[in-house]
A and B are shown apart, each in its own frame.
Chain A
Amino acid sequence: MKSDLAERIANNPDFQELVRRRTGYGWMMAALMIVVYFAFILTIAYFPSLLAIKIAAGSPISLGILLGFLILVFAFVLTGLYVHKANTQFDELTDKIKESAL
């Protein structure tokens, strides 16, 4: 990309908004995933008995199994939320930037 074009795009307020919003959102989602995963792993390492607790009296299902499944679902939901936001909001901004730049 030519540097004058890059300069022009970089100074476009839409570009600055896109980067600010997407970067913030992306890092927040990544942080959520990292925190949830390492919290789970460290619970296994330090407090395994916590995860052995049954979710209800008489139920064979332990807290660990329930949480484990919820983390699988959580990972999928996070990617879904990101893709949805990107498709609806970030792409709109990107298109605007492209239109004004090219």
Chain B
Amino acid sequence: MNNPLLILAGLAALMTGVFFSAGAFAADAAPKSINVPAVTMFIAFVALTLFITYWAAQRTRTAKDFYAAGGNITGFQNGLALAGDYMSAASFLGIAGLVYANGFDGLIYSIGFLVGWPIMLFMLAEKLRNLGKYTFADVASYRLSQIPIRTVAAVSSLVVVLMYLIAQMVGAGKLIEVLFGLPYTYAVVIVGVLMIIYVTFGGMLATTWVQIIKAILLLSGATFMALAVMYSFGFDFNAMFTKAIEISPKHDAIMAPGSLIHDPITAISLGLALMFGVAGLPHILMRFFTVTNAKEARRSVFVATGFIGYFYVLTFIIGFGAIIMVSTNPAYLDAAHKLIGGNNMAAIHLSQAIGGNLFLGFISAVAFATILAVVSGLTLAGASAVSHDLYASAFRHGRVDEKTEMRASRYATIALGIVAIFLGIAFENQNIAFMVGLAFAVAASANFPILFLAIYWKNLTTRGAVAGGLGGLLTAVTLVVLSKTVWVDVFHFTAPIVPYKDPAIFSMPVAFFMAWFFSVTDKSARAIQERALFHAQYVRSETGIGAEEAAKH
């Protein structure tokens, strides 16, 4: 990879966690024969999760049950579920594949994905729990005008959720095509229908437990693989690295920064999007309302950070293991000596090298389960934005009973699921590498600034929050559309209009500036009242007094 444009394009995909660009699995993705152990284990997983959904459905009676699992999830359980949301198939297969191809550079992405979590803990976690109810828009609109704030928050949440969903659906279709020998369209429909069932019937409770089970399966499978690799080197890292350096075509270069990051603007921009994007992802933020109190909220971030960090260490070892055990084995290579199915298949091939077809089946089933769990969380977050923020609060001005709101959220889930299936099919052969990048950039540039300022800055007014949120959202989307990842790779123009493919370094300051400017110049009576309301919000955000009673309703 010597062409800087190629490298930048690759970076867009890698940094953002979507490794399933249209081409990633395309080369050798011709459906192969059905993998019986994989299908059997996957069916067992689906049976178990459907049973959990049935169990959860019995316990999902109120809106609080549906959106927040009744608020009864413990910090440890929520930590596992948060980690599960974050350990998508993309980060498992994608980062392992990246380490396989580039060594050290894979670690750069792992670190980027992890460092947002401590920031989330220090700045937002407890205050979110103290102020919120079901969605992060509850917090953003706590003392501001409901309709405009919730509308903006719901729109940017839906942009984030849809980008993420498309990426996962297309990734699922491609992956399942390779792993199970199932046609792309079937795979997308199966994923879509199952996620609709989990969310519609089981709400947050089912979504959380599906996520927890998947997190345990994924962590166990990855641990076993990493241990098997380390075992073959007598648990000696020096021996493992020495062997990998000897085998890899890049030799010693895999131990040092490669060509993936070389210009500072890209480095900072991606760093910003990852670090602050986590604190703006609606499906992650929503989980903070499922725990009892602020104490459990912060414990859950600690648990999540631990599991995610541990998982990235595992993927690093798995990537190196694949260099040693997979890259020289002709059984895993095609005629051009490339990995069958692309570099993202490194971990999958390694599972076969370690444990034969049975373990390959297990890891394949886990990868499918992972996608299923992640899309369920995304769908629930998107449906909540529609039913709780748009329908119940903005459209019906909060004058809607709980039953009607729950019915609305179920319809929203079904609609979103159908939209996701259609988009998944429509985008099959599109280059979707930019989508999770855009999702993180929008999360960092629209959701995070509104949320952060609403909690911390007394002078924020509705006008400022709307301007900042829309400014961040539109800047991020426009810059991405004009950059190489969309302008050239999707629209096939010869040259990009914007040279940088990650917008956060521009769109985050735009959001903060507009929120500041349109707040300080806001002299309306409403603005004066909103500033006066900050005091009570501040006391509640710091102490949680009032949060317990509010949560009971």
Contact = CB atoms under 8 A, between A and B. Distances in A.
Interface of A: 1-3, 5-7, 9-10, 15, 18-19, 22, 26-27, 29-30, 33-34, 37-38, 40-42, 44-46, 48-49, 51-52, 59-62, 64-65, 68-69, 71-73, 75-76, 78-80, 82-83, 86-87, 91, 94, 97-98, 101-102
B245 A30 contact: no
Contacts of B271: 37-38, 41
Contact of A38 (B237, B268, B539): B268
A97 B295 contact: no
B540 A72 contact: no
B539 A37 contact: no
B543 A82 contact: no
Given A61-B241, A83-B302, A52 B111 contact: no
Dominant SS at the B interface? helix
Contact of B115 (A37, A64, A98): A37
B257 interface: yes
- List the 3 closest A-B pairs by CB distance, nearest first: A52-B256, A48-B257, A60-B241
Contacts of A86: 126, 295, 298
B539 A9 contact: yes
Chain A CB within 10 A, most for which of B110, B264, B302, B546? B302
B332 to A, nearest CB: 24
B275 A6 contact: no
A51 B532 CA distance: 51
B545 A9 contact: yes
Measured as residues with beta carbon below 8 angstroms from the partner, the interface class of chain B is 35 or more
Contact of B264 (A18, A46, A71): A46
Contact of A40 (B111, B238, B242, B295): B111
B114 A72 contact: yes
Interface string B390-413: 000000000000000000000000
B542 interface: yes
A72 B312 contact: yes
9 contacts: A15-B543, A33-B122, A40-B111, A45-B262, A45-B263, A60-B242, A61-B238, A62-B104, A94-B543
Nearest to A36: B115
A33 B546 contact: no
